[in-house]
Amino acid sequence: MYRQIMNLQIIKDNLLTASSPKESIDFIQFNRKKIEGYFVSLTDEQIEEDKFDLQSTCLGFINSPAFQENKTNPDFIEIITLFSELFEKIGFYGAISFIQTNLPKDSSIRHRLNAVFLYSKIGNISEYFEKFDDIFQSLEKAQNYSDADYTGQVVQDTINYYLLGKNALENAQKSELLENFKALFNSSKSRQKYKFLNHPTFKEYLDGYITEKIFIELIADKVYSPSVTTQRIFQDLIIDHINTAGYLERYNNDEIRADILNYGRADFTTPYKELSPYDRVQLYCYFNMRKHFFTSYAIYEKIFSTLNSSVFTKNRKLVLIDFGCGSLTSGLALASLFYDYEDEPITMRYIGIDIADSMLEKAKEFAQTELFSPNTKFDFYSSWNLIPESIVAEAIKSDCVVIFNASYLFASSSLEIESLALFVNKITLRLESKSHFVFQNPDRADRNEKYKRFKKNVAHKIEASGTQRIYYKNNSNSTFEPSSEVVNYEILSL
């Protein structure tokens, strides 16, 4: 009886008028994906317009007998966490303090809300300096929460705090104090103590590459999570490996994210202390890979109906040429998508290219999973220039559809645009039907300059383009708040 289009009134009716805690829990569990989808689909304008109704619903639920008798129930905690994220997003500080005390003490959202509450209540200029460590200690705790990645939210709260202080000091015409305030964020002491200040997005913000808040309006209306099959693969090839190796006992999350992984931008051809390049890749898969898996999944979902009608239902061969393939992230996402829709493993020809042998070693492990049929053939190379002509000819000799995939490739400083365009053109000229180029990159204009140059060297038509915030959960059974990743994407036909 619960399955219908979700809105605030339905949530309110079922949570505030339930005859028992079990009835509320049943409603949440039965409609979890729709409830999550409703919350993440709200725009800033919608939240602002409905904030008092949202607040009264949340506070009414917290004060209800059902919640008061079951404060630690994970389904109930997820609901007030979803409300909290809305209030955090628009800076609705009046709703935060009461909700904060009802959240688990060791949760990312509670630590973030504590930081937001601290900087939102600053009453005079001196407090921007005095509360610096208290605010950042809360944000530090918020980032280091299990394998879920809340770095984006932490960086946004850091920027909000920085902007409040900067604007207050500028308005007060305190130029010397303003420089001292900026120095707090830039000093080597602060960057060593609070590792997230080294995050590329925040550093680029201070350097002037980013001039606005990094929150963007949403396109998606759901929270992605792995299927049972994909979750089992993550468990077997990522989580179990991490637990067996004991990495998390030897290194804290700060050092892993900032130093070992450099927030996903590490050189995976080199070791770190006693960690081999492969060890670093294992940690990358645990902390970073899955968010890129979900962005790839969401992007391929946009063209799945086209692929299904033009390739799979006609028994044509699919060839995926994956530039910067990493640990097979995009290939795994496409295979998982196919499995989720068709309930069978995908068959395709896959050519993966990555400069790090350690990444290719991990990619070969994922290639052996049940998402790929025995007829799927894999080849891996460190450069597209090293792919033998015989392999190219064999891959595209019959009626096939080729997809070129470039996930975060164009953010690379060493990428040779002309060489890549030459390789792509060499393939497309030999094809009887059009191919597709699937691009995704960080949402940064300067990071996408190379992509613009690439497009000038290939004949193309833009099929889809946009910027999207993808909400996801690493574990489908998790009742923790969703993580999110912003991605700029484009799908070309060549």
Evaluate if residue 149 carries a pLDDT over 50. yes
Q: Which of 213, 227, 171 is nearest to 369 (CA)?
A: 227
Q: What is the mean pLDDT of the chain?
A: 89
User: What integer is the mean pLDDT of 86-96?
Assistant: 80
User: What integer is the mean pLDDT of 68-93?
Assistant: 87
Contacts of 346 (CB under 8 A, 6+ apart): 318, 334, 335, 338, 339, 371, 372, 373, 376
Q: Which of 381, 307, 385, 294 is nearest to 347 (CA)?
A: 307
Hey, what long-range contacts does 365-368 have (CB within 8 A, 24 or more apart)? 365/237, 366/233, 366/237, 366/327, 366/328, 366/331, 366/332, 367/328, 367/331
pLDDT at 447: 66
Please, which pLDDT band fits residue 146 given cuts at 50, 70 and 90? low
237 and 370 in contact (C-beta within 8 Å)? Answer: no
What would the pLDDT profile of 37-59 be if each residue is shown by its tens digit?
899 888 888 999 999 999 999 99
Evaluate if residue 341 carries a pLDDT over 50. yes
Q: Which of 264, 298, 12 is nearest to 151 (CA)?
A: 264
Least confident of 67-76, 143-152, 447-456: 143-152
Please give the residue that has the higher pLDDT: either 271 or 107. 271
Spell out where 89-148 has E strands: none
The pLDDT > 70 percentage for the chain reads 94
Q: Where are the alpha helices (DSSP H) in 303-387?
A: 304-310, 329-342, 357-366
pLDDT at 3: 47
Please, which pLDDT band fits residue 63 given cuts at 50, 70 and 90? very high
User: What integer is the mean pLDDT of 138-161?
Assistant: 81
CATH superfamily, domain at 223-493: Vaccinia Virus protein VP39 (3.40.50.150)
What would the pLDDT profile of 379-392 be if each residue is shown by its tens digit?
999 999 999 999 99
Hey, what long-range contacts does 456-459 have (CB within 8 A, 24 or more apart)? 457/417, 457/418, 457/421, 457/422, 457/425, 458/421, 458/424, 458/425, 458/428, 458/492, 458/494, 459/428, 459/494
User: What integer is the mean pLDDT of 463-492?
Assistant: 86
Location of structure tokens 């970073």: 288
Evaluate if residue 491 carries a pLDDT over 80. yes
User: What integer is the mean pLDDT of 123-128?
Assistant: 92
What would the pLDDT profile of 342-378 be if each residue is shown by its tens digit?
999 999 999 999 999 999 999 999 999 999 999 999 9
Domain regions of the chain by residue span: 8-206, 223-493
What would the pLDDT profile of 197-229 be if each residue is shown by its tens digit?
888 778 777 776 444 443 434 445 788 999 999
Size of the chain in residues: 494
pLDDT at 215: 41
pLDDT at 448: 77
Stretch (H or E) spanning 98: helix 96-100
pLDDT at 210: 47
| DSSP letter, residue 449 | H
Angle made by CA atoms 287, 292, 294, in degrees to the nearest 5: 110
What would the pLDDT profile of 297-328 be if each residue is shown by its tens digit?
999 998 888 888 878 777 789 999 999 999 99
Contacts of 61 (CB under 8 A, 6+ apart): 15, 16, 67, 76, 79, 80
